[in-house]
Amino acid sequence: MIEFLKVILNIITKKEVYGVVITLSISYFIYKTLTILFEEVINYGKVDYEKKKRKTITNLFKNVTKYLILIVAALAILSIYGVNVKGLIAGLGIAGTILGLALQDTFKDIINGINIIAENYFIVGDIITYNGFTGEVFEFGLKTTKLKNANGEIMVIANRNIMEVNNLSQKEQNVLYNISLPYEQPVETIEKIIEKNILPKFKEIENVNKDSVKYLGVNDLAESCVKYLISFSCKRDQQWQAKRDANKIVLVEFGKHNISIPYPQLEVHYEK
């Protein structure tokens, strides 16, 4: 048993072992400390929206810091094992040039990722549309941006390809809400119900700015219905839930007046 412990002690006291352990421990400590301090400093005294914006920058900082520390730690470990690090660094200069040519797309991803932050294209948590795909930005990295839509589908986009997006997330999202109703109902009756019953209920919807709720008038004379337009604004990212709540209000209120929402109908004429 004593001999076994001596062997173990002899192994762990070698610089090739304890040096690697110490290097990795210090590297991890530096990484965690830097990222925590950066996150605390950049978010100090900021509101939730600003924190979400800075989360994108924080994630980018974490990625850059991680790679830099890994490179330094790898060089330090190689030095412990007697590798000529100075010569290696010189050789890395040549290899770096070759690697740079091979990784042009990667560098384009990184540069455009920085540009996305600088130009405020979007932040983590924003709802955006890219090439017809609408989803939430749930991850933003050095190389890629990941979107998740309402069905759980995920799109991964190389940052170099993001030149233009439609950002649906604003401090307040404007919503245009059409109510489709039958031609048989008098316009005056419908507008009276909208003004007295619908608009007050819309103002009670959670996250909706009650001062923004307005009836704009007859918006469209469609094939089988008349469309009445209401506008309102709500908190960013809440427009879908607000529309769902609005749908329920419309069904209930017009149901009280025995007015049904029309569906497409086909009228056929024939001669005897």
Statement to judge: residues 27 and 40 lie in one domain: yes
Residue 271 lies in a domain: no
Q: For the domain that residue 249 is a member of, what is the CATH number?
A: 3.30.70.100
Model pLDDT, residue 67 = 82
Total structural domains within the chain: 3
Q: What pLDDT does residue 222 have?
A: 86
**Residue 69's domain is classified under what CATH number?**
1.10.287
Question: Do 252 and 185 share a structural domain?
Answer: yes
What per-residue confidence (pLDDT) applies to 192?
Answer: 93
Q: What is the pLDDT of residue 200?
A: 94
267 found inside a domain = no
Q: Is residue 160 domain-shared with residue 177, that is, in the same domain?
A: no
Q: What is the 3-state secondary structure (H, E, C) of 164-219?
A: CCEECCCCEEEEEEEEEECCCCCHHHHHHHHHHHHHHHHCCCCCECHHHCEEEEEE
Q: Is beta strand 144-148 parallel, antiparallel or unpaired with respect to 133-140?
A: antiparallel
Given a cut of 50, the residues of the chain with pLDDT beneath it are none
Q: Is 266 within a domain?
A: no
Residue 272, domain member (yes or no): no
Verify that 222 and 152 share a domain, yes or no.
no
Domain that holds residue 54: 2-102
pLDDT at 102: 59
137, 227: one domain: no
Q: Would the pTM of this model clear 0.85, i.e. be above it?
A: no
Residues β-bridged to residue 166: 129
Give yes or no: residues 129 and 180 share one domain: no
